[in-house]
């Protein structure tokens, strides 16, 4: 439907491209996962408003370039709420909808972790990056390759729900695979476990939940060696109402990830 996908940059001297590690946080790939949008807004508010008050925030703003995309799927998320009645909508708004988190180009459609039926909730689209949303973010991430070096070093893709910290790969239950050594896997597990100790989520390889292909974290790592995690936020379980917690939980359930966000920025 042509809505813009906003991206914000937070850093000292933000108008300049400085030689500082870049980190990307993105939210709301899935339309109904509105708590994640609030998560990205909290990151934005914290790393701006708290600059004077919080030493860790100041250090990260001074020494990193922080990119935040609060909504990857603005058409879908607007559709989910615009009638005044929640639609339980997951995908984008292209025809019957493409599941953006099955449309990324690493091992797209390889392994039974997505659907070729346009009516499916996990429809992968007619080809990789057929969705304007994934194509736009692919182009942005590709544009951060400067002199052959990817500037973005780490990423969290926020979802709801199940209270999980997940790392690649999603398309296979193998730890070591094409583009993933045991040493690399072990670092994912170590940092994922460390982050999970701060928010009380369960740390696991993505494929331990279920196999997905065409997921964002597989692409971030597989194509760019970006240290990429996916978080499933509050609640830990439920039905469709799990996507629509009351607004009273926003502060507590987004604050819950402050330390994990700090840890990834440090790493
Ligand atoms: O299915 C997804 O895209 C994510 N879960 S959600 O309920 N938010 O839709 C999980 C993606 C993580 N990757 C794998 N489980 N392989
Ligand atoms: Ca800077
Ligand atoms: Ca830079
Ligand atoms: Zn999701």
pLDDT in tens, 135-166: 999 999 999 999 999 999 999 999 999 999 99
Q: Walk along the chain (267 residues) in steps of 10 and give the mean pLDDT of each run.
A: 97 98 99 99 98 98 99 98 98 99 98 98 99 98 98 99 98 98 98 99 98 98 99 98 98 98 98
Show the tokens assigned to 101.
Answer: 């988190």
What pLDDT was estimated at residue 104?
99
Atom 16, ligand 1: residue with shortest CA distance: 170
Kindly report the protein residue whose alpha carbon is nearest to atom 4 of ligand 1.
Answer: 159
Q: Which of 30, 77, 237 to mutate to test the pocket of ligand 1 (most atoms within 8 A of CB)?
A: 30
- State the distance from the centre of ligand 3 to the C-alpha of 16, rounded, in angstroms: 8
Model pLDDT, residue 236: 98
Query: CA 11, CA 38: separation in Å to the nearest integer?
Result: 20
SS3 47: helix
Query: Residues near 85 by Cβ (< 8 Å), separated by ≥ 6?
Result: none
Cα atoms in the 13 Å half-sphere on the side-chain side of 3: 15
Ligand 1 environment, Cβ below 6 A: 30, 33, 101, 159, 166, 170, 206-207, 209-210, 212, 215, 230, 232
CA distance 243 to 31: 10
Q: Looking at ligand 1, which atom is closest to the CA of residue 113? A: 16
């Amino acid at each position: 439907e042509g809505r813009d996908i906003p991206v914000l940059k937070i850093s000292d001297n933000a108008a300049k491209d400085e030689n500082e590690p870049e980190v990307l946080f993105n939210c709301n790939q899935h339309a109904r996962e509105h708590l994640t949008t609030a998560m990205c807004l909290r990151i934005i508010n914290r790393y701006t408003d708290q600059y004077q008050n919080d030493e860790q925030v100041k250090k990260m703003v001074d020494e990193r370039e922080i990119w935040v995309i609060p909504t990857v799927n603005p058409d879908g998320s607007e559709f989910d709420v615009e009638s005044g009645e929640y639609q339980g909508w997951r995908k984008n708004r292209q025809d019957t909808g493409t599941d953006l988190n099955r449309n990324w180009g690493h091992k797209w459609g390889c392994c039974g972790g997505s659907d070729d039926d346009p009516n499916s909730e996990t429809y992968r689209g007619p080809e990789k990056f057929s969705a304007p949303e994934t194509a736009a973010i692919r182009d942005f991430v590709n544009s951060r390759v400067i002199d052959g070096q990817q500037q973005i070093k780490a990423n969290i893709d926020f979802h709801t729900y199940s209270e999980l910290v997940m790392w690649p790969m999603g398309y296979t239950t193998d730890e070591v695979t094409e583009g993933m050594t045991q040493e690399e896997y072990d670092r994912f597990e170590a940092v994922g476990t460390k982050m999970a100790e701060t928010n009380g989520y369960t740390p696991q390889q993505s494929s331990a939940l279920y196999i997905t292909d065409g997921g964002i974290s597989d692409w971030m790592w597989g194509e760019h060696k970006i240290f990429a995690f996916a978080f499933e936020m509050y609640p830990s379980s439920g039905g469709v109402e799990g996507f629509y917690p009351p607004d009273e939980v926003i502060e507590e359930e987004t604050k819950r990830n402050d330390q994990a966000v700090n840890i990834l920025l440090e790493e």
